[in-house]
Amino acid sequence: MRYVVTGGTGFIGRRVVSHLLHTRPDAEVWILVRRQSLGRFERLASEWGERAKPLVGDLPELELTDETVAELGRVDHLVHCAAIYDVTAGEAEQRAANVEGTRAVIGLAVMERDGKSLQRFSSVPVVDRSEIDPFSLGYPWVLRNPSGWQMWYGSHVEWGAKGSEMVHIVKDAISLDGLKWQPTGRVAIDVEGPPEFAISRPCVVRDPGLFRMWYSRRNPNYKLGYAESTDGLVWRRRDDILELAGRPGTWETETVEYASVFDHGGSRYMLYNGNGYGRTGFGLAILE
């Protein structure tokens, strides 16, 4: 089994590589690494062993030679970890790594019939930047509906010199087959104005007669938000009724964000991150 991991020498990426090599004896892991970072790769490779191989290139342009592509051959799985997480970084630097870099390496994945493996469907985005979404798209959440598929996603509509000067909202798109998508231009969840400047990471559950959405709202620290809709198109924010009961742990006193809600065993659960995007772990809550 052949893997390609971007950002494989970074904090998260190197742990992904170690996990793949440790848990999959047949794995061959190619790590995309900048030429100036080969020294770091070699130090890590001394622990990883010969199944870890360097793929010398950079984002946003991979610039792989024909010889490298031929040696790499068929890729079974791609894990994209390369990104700039510092919101104070310059716009050009963030765009190159996070927007153009992602454009270069990801596309749609299609689950095989065994329900276990995923294969890349396309090397280009299924929803790309446009006049409707001029800067970036992310955090897609997709549900099936009677006429096809519906997606809610995050979109930057303004971008400033500092992270707090951006405006990030949730929009939606529709598809008949789940492959070809049409952004509607419709705003699902908008910011309420300063100091709130971002709504991100939607999670949608459809109950009988009601859609429910959990999301992260930033003003300036992250908090969780909640909205309801009867049709999945027009939403009413009801942030005031969302509450995490009990005394928060020290790991969640500054921020709470990126909720993922699911049903299991007759109960509804929420996974969520705490301080620093889940720097020291994540929480589990149950609906009472």
CATH number of the structural domain 127-288: 2.115.10.20
CATH number of the structural domain 1-125: 3.40.50.720
Say yes or no: do domains 1-125 and 127-288 share a fold.
Answer: no
Structure confidence at residue 63 (pLDDT):
65
Taking only the tens of pLDDT, the chain with its 288 residues reads 888 888 888 888 889 999 999 999 999 998 888 888 888 899 999 999 999 998 887 777 666 666 776 777 777 788 888 877 776 777 777 777 777 776 666 444 455 445 566 565 665 677 888 888 988 888 999 999 989 999 999 999 998 777 778 899 999 999 998 888 999 999 999 999 889 999 999 999 999 999 999 999 999 899 999 999 999 999 999 999 999 999 999 999 999 999 999 999 999 999 999 998 888 889 999 998
Structure confidence at residue 118 (pLDDT):
59
Structure confidence at residue 64 (pLDDT):
66
Q: Give DSSP secondary structure letters for the chain.
A: -EEEEETTTSTTHHHHHHHHHHH-TT-EEEEEE-GGGHHHHHHHHHHH-TTEEEEE--SS-----HHHHHHH---SEEEE------TTS-HHHHIIIIIIHHHHH---EEE-TTSS-EEE--SS-SS---SSS-S-EEEEEEEEETTEEEEEEEEEEE--SSGGG-EEEEEEEEESSSSSEEEEEEEEE---STT--EEEEEEEEEETTEEEEEEEEESSSEEEEEEEESSSSS-EE-GGG----SPPPGGGSS--EEEEEEEETTEEEEEEE-HHHHTT-EEEEE--
Structure confidence at residue 4 (pLDDT):
86
Structure confidence at residue 108 (pLDDT):
40
Question: Domain segments of the chain: what residues?
Answer: 1-125, 127-288
Q: What's this model's pTM, rounded to 2 decimal places?
A: 0.65
